[in-house]
């Protein structure tokens, strides 16, 4: 099985250790000296190195899509839905107590 290699955009640097603990091969934009780099440079780096980009930046995701670079866009809507699910679970547990 081929291991998927991941490049975390700046806003997700703090997730590196968590994803590694789950077995993912992870680099961050900071690891590869691309902090503050242009959207294009980050996407090009991911492309050259066969990395999947994880970002919340829609422009990064759009550029990745145009270049055929795999990307996971973590949108605010996606995060909001995940938070909502967890809040509803907690709310139901509290109502039962």
Give the mean pLDDT per block of 10 residues along the chain (97 residues). Answer: 84 94 96 95 97 95 95 92 93 85
pTM of the shown model: 0.84
* Cα R_g (the chain), whole angstroms: 16
Distance CA 24, CA 44 (A): 21
CA distance 53 to 39: 11
Q: How far apart are CA 87 and CA 54, in angstroms?
A: 25
CA 8, 36, 42 angle in degrees (round to 5)?
A: 50
Please report, for the chain, the start and end positions of each structural domain, with discontinuous segments joined by +: 5-96
Q: Which fold has domain 5-96?
A: Rossmann fold (3.40.50)
On whether the CB atoms of residues 37 and 55 are closer than 8 A, the answer is no
């Amino acid at each position: 099985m081929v291991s998927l290699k991941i490049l975390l955009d700046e806003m997700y640097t703090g997730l590196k250790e968590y994803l590694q603990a789950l077995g993912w091969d992870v680099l961050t934009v900071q690891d590869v000296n691309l902090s503050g780099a242009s959207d294009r440079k980050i996407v090009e780096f991911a492309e050259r190195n066969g990395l999947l980009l994880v970002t919340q930046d829609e422009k990064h995701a759009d550029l990745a899509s145009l270049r055929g670079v795999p990307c996971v866009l973590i949108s605010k809507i996606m995060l909001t839905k995940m938070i909502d699910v967890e809040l509803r679970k907690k709310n139901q547990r509290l109502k039962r107590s």
